[in-house]
Amino acid sequence: MRYLDRLQPLALLVMRLTLGLIMTVHGSQKVFGGLHQFAQTVHAMGIPEWLGYVASFTEFLAGLMLLAGFFTRAAAFAVCIDLIVAIWKVHWHNGLLISGGRIGYEFALSAATIAFALIFFGGGPISLDHALRGGGSGFSKRT
């Protein structure tokens, strides 16, 4: 079991990279391929239109920050809030699972759970956060 404990930095890296990639791709589709349309869709759901712009750039920029492990906790917090709102306003009424062509909230819930964990664990020793704090090589030292 001690061997698995030493691999925890790798687990945090995989979580960060996976969530960062997902959010960057989803955000870039909005930012570069239909920003105004997305903002109008958000407005049609009863949310102020400007929050559609905020959500788009949050997904894109926070995704990039997660990929780099830069301000990981703040980026993960923003992503978690973004996904909770998406579950509440878009997916909740479809139920948990995909059914009849309607997207459930299982995927957004999984991503929000990863973001939630990163809020508390941070980016780990293989991150820009760690390097900027003078953390060394990126791997934890043996004690």
Q: Report residue 36's pLDDT band, with 50, 70 and 90 as the boundaries.
A: very high
Reported as a single tens digit per residue, the pLDDT across 102-132 is: 778 899 999 999 999 999 999 999 999 999 9
What does the alpha-carbon distance between residue 39 and residue 35 come to, in Å, rounded to a whole number?
6
Question: Domain locations in the chain?
Answer: 6-132
Reported as a single tens digit per residue, the pLDDT across 47-106 is: 999 999 999 999 999 999 999 999 999 999 999 999 999 999 888 878 788 777 777 889
The 10 Å Cβ neighbour count of residue 51 is 16
Q: Which two tokens stand for residue 24?
A: 């960057």
What does the alpha-carbon distance between residue 119 and residue 97 come to, in Å, rounded to a whole number?
26
Q: Helix H segments across 34-127?
A: 35-44, 49-68, 72-86, 106-121
